[in-house]
Amino acid sequence: MDDYSSQRRKSSNQLVGIGLVVVVHVLILWVVNSGLARSFVKKIQKPVEAVLLEEKKPELPPPPPPPPAPVKNVPPPPVFVPPSDVQVSAPSTANAISAVTSTPTPVVVAPVVNTPPPVRTPAVVNSANCVKPEYPSVSKRLEEEGTVNLRFLIGIDGKVLEASIEKSSGYRRLDEAAREGLSRCQFTAATVGGKPEQAWATMKYTWRLD
């Protein structure tokens, strides 16, 4: 009997629980259909406002004071002029230097001496030691005549160092004969201030048949 009564209590409890579950589901359906759930969802979905906190900026120091205005041209202070009846005594000059004298240093001016330029003398041929050039035989036969200008470089010993033809006579045989013959002549060397120096000398020689 006890088992049977306990089984009936359990079955009754299960029926009650099932009935409660059914009632809850019915209420949920009714709430959904009636729109209460929609209003509840709308209340929950309100926009969330975000408030940004402004960062506090550091306080800036006050600006520097403006520069002072430029000073305009201020007129000079008036010059004090003592009245005519006031006598101004000069400071004592007992210890002052009364006069300063100085003796100028004499300036010695050296006399300007005009030094004359050194005297130059040209080279000169010694005619006593100069042999007359020999007339070329071919030129004689062909009756060749003419004047040749020669140029000689004379050393300090009076000897000819170099000889050249400055102007031809028109015949090469006569030019070469004159250059070769007169190069053996002895000269007096040119001088500068009495000292011999190397210099050039010119000479003319005329070929003429007797």
Q: Could you give the CA distance from residue 83 to residue 61 in angstroms, rounded to a whole number?
A: 59
Give the pLDDT band (50/70/90) at residue 96: very low
Containing structural domain, residue 11 = 2-42
The residues that bridge with 153 in the sheet, in sequence order, are 162, 200
Q: Which residue has the tokens 């959904």?
A: 32
Q: Is the pLDDT of residue 48 over 50?
A: no
Q: What is the pLDDT of residue 114?
A: 77
Mean pLDDT of 166-190: 94
**pLDDT of 90 over the 90 cut:** no
Q: Please check whether residue 80 lies inside any domain of the structure.
A: no
Please indicate, yes or no, if residue 78 is contained in any of the structural domains: no
Mean predicted confidence (pLDDT) in 103-132: 80
Global pTM value? 0.45
pLDDT of residue 183: 92
User: What are the DSSP E strand ranges found in the chain?
Assistant: 120-121, 124-125, 146-154, 160-167, 187-188, 190-192, 195-197, 199-207
Q: What was the pLDDT predicted at 51?
A: 44
Q: How far apart are CA 205 and CA 210, in angstroms?
A: 15
In a domain, 27, yes or no: yes
Which alpha helices (DSSP H) does 35-136 contain, by range? 36-44
Q: What is the mean pLDDT of residues 179-194?
A: 92
Q: Are 175 and 136 in contact (CB under 8 A)?
A: no
Instruction: For residue 173, give the CATH number of its domain.
Output: 3.30.2420.10
In this prediction, residue 3 has a pLDDT band, given cuts at 50, 70 and 90, of: low
The verdict on residue 89 lying in a domain is no
Give the chain's domain count.
Answer: 2
